[in-house]
Amino acid sequence: MRKFNISVNGNSYEVEVEEIGGAPAPVQKSAAPAPKPAAAPKAAPQASAASAPVSGATTVEAPMPGSIVSVKVKNGDTVNEGDVLCVLEAMKMENEIMAPKSGKIVAVCTSQGASVNTGDALVSIG
């Protein structure tokens, strides 16, 4: 009888194998698999130039969860209704987030590479 440690789908099992004249040997797995070490949580990228939305301004929010591929505007830029503010990748598709009205950008609340959830502020237009 020989003992082996076998890993299946990240679980480790100790098995004993008995050789019986050319016939396949039965395999027994131990009752408790070895515990898997917990992975450390990854921190989301921090937006260095991001700021909080400005009260009284129109806040453009993320329509769905995803990650920001690019930010096309910066504080102080003047935009027209329908201009692209940023590009949001969700479900392997790039979605252009457009300005709902004309005005001046008073706050950019996200940055390239940031993960956003539905309703997170992206840009404030004054």
* Domain spans of the chain, in order of start: 1-34, 58-125
Q: pLDDT for 83-118, tens place per residue?
A: 999 999 998 899 999 999 999 999 999 999 999 999
Q: What is the pLDDT of residue 28?
A: 60
Q: What does the DSSP 8-state code read for residue 50?
A: -
Mean pLDDT computed over 3-18: 82
Q: What is the pLDDT of residue 46?
A: 44
Instruction: Provide the 3-class DSSP secondary structure of residue 59.
Output: strand
Q: What does the DSSP 8-state code read for residue 38?
A: P
> pLDDT tier at 1 (50, 70, 90 boundaries)?
confident
Q: What is the pLDDT of residue 44?
A: 45
CA dist 17 and 14 (Å) reads 10
Q: What is the pLDDT of residue 51?
A: 63
Q: What is the pLDDT of residue 20?
A: 74
CATH for 58-125 is: 2.40.50.100
- Other Cβ atoms within 10 Å of 7 Cβ, number: 10
Q: pLDDT for 21-49, tens place per residue?
A: 665 555 565 555 555 555 555 544 444 44
Q: What is the pLDDT of residue 80?
A: 94
CA dist 106 and 108 (Å) reads 7
Chain center to CA of 57? 28
